[in-house]
Amino acid sequence: MESTTGQETVWHNGKALRRGYTTGSCATAAAKVAALMVLRQHLIHQVSITTPSGVVLNLNVEQPHIEGQQAVAAIRKDGGDDIDATHGMLIFARVRLNHSGTISLQGGDGIGKVTRNGVGLAIGEPAINRTPRQTIEAAVREAIGPARGAEVEIFAPEGEARAQKTYNARLGILGGISIIGTTGIVTPMSEESWKRSLALELEVKHAAGLNRVILAPGNHAERFVRDQLHLDGESVVTMSNFVGYMIQEAVRLGFSQIVLLGHPGKLIKIAAGIFHTHSHIADGRMETLVAHLALMGAPHPVLVAVSECDTTEAAMEVISAAGLQAIWPLLARRICQRVEEMLRYTRNPPRCDAVMFAFDNQVLGSNRPLADIFAGWPTC
C-alpha cells in the first residue's frame, strides 16, 4: 500500500500537482487518535489511517486534549492543489468511552444537518456520508477493541461559515459543512491534468487486452459492478464529469463497447446532450426528467413536483410514488442515442449501452437487458 502525508504529486506536462485528503479522512483520523488517547491517557501528536482507496495517511494531530474518559483531537484539512471551501480548516472529534459495546456517531458544531430528502441520508441526521461513517466507526473500533463502546462527535468550529461557500444550502444541508469522500484522497482537479490521468487509465486497460469498458462518474460504480453485477471491477474507468472526452478517448483506442454506468444525477444530463456534466458547466436534470415524463403522459401535478425538486434523489421518490419507473430505461435509450449522434461521423463506432442505479444499489433501468449488455464479460 502507498504511504503518504498528502504531499505526493500527480505529474502532467512537467507540472507537479499535489494531492490532498478529504474531510472524511480528517474526521476518521481525529476520531481514531482521540479514542487512542482516552485508552492510553497520554497525548498523541501523529496518527496513521488507511483510506478506503488503500492509501496510508500519516497525519499531524492538532489541539489534543484528554479529560477523564473523553478526549478531543483535530486534523487540518488539506485539499492539495484542489483547494475548496474546507481547505485548511480543522476537523475535530470528541470520543467518550462507555460500556455499551456499541459506537454512536453524532455531528456537533459546524457539521450540517440534513433537512430535505434526496441526499442519501435521513432528515435530521448529520451530514456525514456513508463512507466516512464506515471509516470513522471502523477506526474507533480498531482503537478501542471489540467489547467497549464509544460516543463519537465530529465538529468543526469554522463549519457554518465555510458552508456559505458551498452548495449545501441548495441541497437542504444547513448549519455547516458535509463530511464526505469515497476514497479518502483528493486528486487535483486541474481539468487538463485530470482528463489526461483518466485517459491514461483507459490506455492501461486497453494495453492489458480489454476491448470493452465501463465508464462511470465516480468510485461507487466499481463496487456496484463487483457486488451487484458480479463482474470484474477491472473493466471500470472513472470518467468524472468528462463524458464526451472519455468517450472520444475510448473511440481513439478502439474499444468495441462502452457502457455508461452510474447514478441518474450525472447520467440524466447526457440524455440532454450535455457531455461535460459539472454543475458549473450545465445542468438541466429536472428539465430533462420533466420533458421525458411529459412524453410518457405523466400527470401535470407529477411534472410540477419533479420540477420543484432540488436533487435527483428527491425526484426519484416522486417518480417512484407515481409508478413511472419506466422513465429510467427510456432515458437510458436516449443516452445511447445521444452518444450515437455524437459519434455519427466515426468510422466503426463502439456499441454504446447505459445503466442507471440508485444509492441503494438497485438497478433503475438500462437501454437493453443487462444479460445482453454484459454477455461474455469477465466475472469476479
pLDDT single digits (tens) 309-327: 988 989 999 999 999 999 9
The residues facing 46 across adjacent strands are: 60
Cα separation, 349 vs 116, in Å, equals 42
Q: How far apart are the first and last CA of the chain?
A: 22
Range among 2-16, 70-84, 138-152, 163-177 rated most confident: 138-152
Specify the pLDDT at position 184: 80
* DSSP letter string, 170-195: GGTEESSB-B--SSSEEPP--HHHHH
Specify the pLDDT at position 233: 86
Which residue in the block uniquely carries the three cell numbers 456559505?
164
> What is the percent of the chain with per-residue pLDDT over 90, rounded to a whole number?
68
Confidence band (pLDDT; 50, 70, 90) for 3?
A: very low
- β-pairing, 351-357 vs 257-262, is parallel
- For the cut 90, the answer to whether the pLDDT of residue 169 exceeds it is no
Fold of 3-186: CbiD-like (3.30.2110)
| HEC letters along 90-140 | EEEEEEEEECCCCEEEEECCCECEECCCCCCCCCCCECECHHHHHHHHHHH
Specify the pLDDT at position 5: 46
Map out the domains of the chain as residue ranges: 3-186, 191-373
User: What's the average model confidence in pLDDT over 79-89?
Assistant: 83
**Is pTM beyond 0.75 here?**
no
- For the cut 60, the answer to whether the pLDDT of residue 26 exceeds it is yes
Contact call for residues 309 and 320 (beta carbons, < 8 A):
no
Specify the pLDDT at position 171: 76
pLDDT (tens digit per residue) in 41-76: 999 999 999 998 888 999 999 999 999 999 999 999
Specify the pLDDT at position 186: 75
Residues 6+ apart with CB under 8 A from 25: 49, 51, 57, 59, 75, 135, 181, 184, 185
Specify the pLDDT at position 120: 77
